[in-house]
Amino acid sequence: MSLTELPREPEQPVALLDADAIDSLVPPFPAADVDELRGLVHGPVYAAGDDGLAAEVATWNVAVQRTPAIAVGATCAADVAAAVSWAVARGLRVAVQATGHGPVRNAAGSMMITTRRMQGLFIDPERRTVRVEAGVKWKRLMESAAEFGLAGLCGSSSDVGVVGYTLGGGLGSLGRKHGFAADHVRAVEIVTADGRQRTLSADSEPELFWAVRGGKGNFGVVTALELELVPLTGLYAGGIFFAGEDMAAVLHAFRRWAPALPEEVSTSVAILRMPDAEFVPPPLRGQTAVHLRYAYCGTDLDEGERLVEPMRTAGRALLGFIGPIRTDETDAIHMDPVDPMPAWEKGLLLADLTEEIVDALLGAAGPQLDIPLAMLEVRLMGGALARPAPVPNAVPGRSGAYAVYAIGPGIPELAHVVPAVVRGVLAVLGPWRSPETVINFLGDVSGPGEVAAAYPPGVHQRLADVKAAVDPERVFSFGHAI
């Protein structure tokens, strides 16, 4: 079987298909071949139908049900290299998963390599660097770095994996001061489609090094990164939930306030439709609310307090705290959910946030509407996020003034409704859309053209040229494929 004969990803999440359709996507493999693979790797190997396969490939987004032909729980880079070589010899495409936060589509019929067992982490406080293996989450890195007065460029949740987040750019609460996480990558350890273990840097295979930082998983399985850390001992940060009836006042206050902020401030505002559930605090239970997220990373915490003061009275506060926090407490800013949940997501960039744009957003997603939209966030960009990386990379999204990110419940009952609602809300913002999209916010895509359009002119073609050179058979073609 050649790679070109294998089925591409289905046009809907396999979790929404019936059992017969799922089984038809999973090619069988002889037991002797599977036993051979088990002898080549240290970690567990599961074939379709094996007990433990579903648990091995389970995702945080439970709307995506993984149905690979084979799964390998890699424990080291050698396991990854052996698994890739075995898969290529049998005409299998290869997908990879660490913490399970990244998938938006099922990698059906693939060789699925899971890397969560790869937990190596070493911090060099003198060089202000960390070498982190593919299964490490941001929480562990941030806690370890804090002991040395250092921090990484973590995103809105420390529960996600460092590697996948960084390969997609990595937009976090220190971004306007320090840029994308990918801008701080010094070296990449990767296994490519030929089974080779390579170490990439600005001086070693610089073109592939450029492409991997921003090109996600299109070029191989990244087994470790070396990242620069930044000196930081604390933040003035947190969030405030405002009543939904004050949404217009809060959003208009935000669009007047945010553009004048210094680069030491990263901030966003989110429209949240909270479920009527016990895990939601009583003031927010069953409510539509507006959540201000704020992080000041300057040295003068009094200045951080002064800068946020105009927003504290923008509406009726229901709940929240903004004040001094440790660098390993950044989850308090966005308060992203930790437990697995079904979700369908999509994002874009805006060139501005004017009165007209806010009014259009309120008309499409305001509290007067009963729509299945769990969250819509507007995040301030600019600062270091708008500047080229010191060592150029393929990360898109530097042209936008604001990032918009929307999530709806990815449950079967709303399988067709939620994508239509989310796309419809974002379409209202289309007249003010900026070129490019943050790859980690791209979400589900209609096809390769949408992935290509996320990158600046010429960048996607350059990525395609690198892809053709290192993976001509398209072994790695799941997710946001190039």
Task: Read off the CATH number of the domain in which 463 is found.
Answer: 3.30.465.10
Q: How many CB atoms lie within 10 A of CB 18?
A: 7
Centroid of chain to Cα 412: 23
Q: Does 476 fall in a domain?
A: no
Query: For the whole model, what pTM was predicted?
Result: 0.93
d(CA 74, CA 118): 7
Same domain, residue pair 361 and 430: yes
For residue 451, give the H/E element and its range.
helix 448-453
Same domain, residue pair 396 and 422: yes
Nearest by Cα to 58 from 480, 443, 341, 406: 341
Q: Which amino acid is at 321?
A: F
Sign of the C-alpha dihedral computed for residues 208, 213, 215 and 219 taken in this order: positive
Q: Does 475 fall in a domain?
A: no
What the block records as the tokens of 253 is: 């206050």
3-state secondary structure of 478: coil
Same domain, residue pair 338 and 222: no
Beta strand residue intervals within 146-218, DSSP E: 150-151, 185-191, 197-200
Same domain, residue pair 103 and 241: no
3-state secondary structure of 417: helix
Same domain, residue pair 216 and 289: no
Same domain, residue pair 284 and 319: yes
3-state secondary structure of 320: strand
- Percentages helix, strand, coil for the chain, rounded to the nearest 5? 35, 25, 45
3-state secondary structure of 346: strand
Same domain, residue pair 411 and 434: yes
Q: Does 479 fall in a domain?
A: no
Question: How many domains are contained in the chain?
Answer: 3
Same domain, residue pair 286 and 376: yes
Same domain, residue pair 447 and 461: no
Instruction: Tell me how far apart the terminal alpha carbons of the chain are, to the nearest angstrom.
Output: 22
Sign of the C-alpha dihedral computed for residues 396, 135, 137 and 418 taken in this order: positive
Q: Phi first, then psi: give them for residue 250, nearest 5 degrees.
A: -70, -45
Q: Does 386 fall in a domain?
A: yes
Same domain, residue pair 179 and 244: no
Q: Does 332 fall in a domain?
A: yes
DSSP summary character for residue 313: T
d(CA 325, CA 274): 25
3-state secondary structure of 275: coil
Q: Phi first, then psi: give them for residue 248, nearest 5 degrees.
A: -60, -45
Task: Check which CATH number belongs to the domain holding 239 and give it.
Answer: 3.40.462.20
Q: How many CB atoms lie within 10 A of CB 173?
A: 27
Domain housing 7: 3-114
- Tell me which of 114, 143, 175 is where a domain ends: 114
Q: What is the pLDDT along the chain (482 residues), one digit of tens a residue?
A: 334 333 333 333 333 333 334 444 455 788 899 999 999 999 999 999 999 999 999 999 998 889 999 999 999 999 999 999 999 999 999 999 999 888 778 888 999 999 999 999 999 999 999 999 999 999 999 999 999 999 999 999 999 999 999 999 999 999 999 999 999 999 999 999 999 999 999 999 999 999 999 999 999 999 999 999 999 999 999 999 999 999 999 999 999 999 999 999 999 999 999 999 998 999 999 999 999 999 999 999 999 999 999 999 999 999 999 999 999 999 999 999 989 999 999 999 999 999 999 999 999 999 999 999 999 999 999 999 999 999 999 999 999 999 999 999 999 999 899 999 999 999 999 999 999 999 999 998 988 899 999 999 899 999 999 999 999 999 999 989 99
Q: Does 477 fall in a domain?
A: no
3-state secondary structure of 64: coil
Contact present, 341 and 418 (Cβ < 8 Å): no
